[in-house]
Structure 1
């Protein structure tokens, strides 16, 4: 089940982010960078700002009354583009088809607001790139983002073009 998150759910999102990041990125980036990025991207202040933005959406993914992941995306981040900023699941959620359902959900939500594509960034060493490709996303560029504290994100930029 995919449930719209509210500001009161920030602590749930933070906990899911911490657990999922320490699973997803442990072999890709240093623990120092994981901790830095979690503090930067999932602080109470940052998430609070997202909830104040009507185009920024958070959803929790729940199964059997247990939260297994979350989605964060932003409508109209560029012209006619929804940006999938965050899609993370706990280790125990892997292989249940929840990622596929979450991606389909984001694409359907983008259609509702007449956006024509969904974009995302994925670390070049993250196996999730193959998952996104299996869902119809294609790499359209690559970029290195300086995120401060001596850390960078070395990512592929991917897009899904929404059919009319």
Structure 2
């Protein structure tokens, strides 16, 4: 696993860090349970768990731009808080995604199945096909997706 930190700047604008990383294989898992602590991100009660594993992953980001490519991978996650609940499972043969600010595009061959209700959005997917409505508007077809974050 390697990480590269890039610094990019433009004239009078403040330099914003960029980053790039690659993983030959990866496996990640985690749980969280927070609430009623006087710390940012821990005041509202919430709990969840997630796990992901795959072969081949490359990611880059700079300013409002992000791009990622993955080989075969699988993931699953659940979450619950006062703002929403959800459970989603994913399996992909391969995929690539990019976003620029509120616009996101993903080209993949995979199956996502689950429901996610949070932050003013509702997302429902079955075998990679589904829709997102609300704050995030999107449509998915067999793992590929086009989405727009409205606010």
Q: Same fold (TM over 0.5)?
A: no
Q: Which of structures 1 and 2 has the bigger CA Rg?
A: 2
When you count strand as a share of all residues, which structure comes out higher?
2
Query: Which gives a bigger RCO, structure 1 or 2 (Cα 8 Å, sep 6+)?
Result: 1
Using structure 1 for the length normalisation, give the TM-score.
Answer: 0.27
When you count helix as a share of all residues, which structure comes out higher?
1
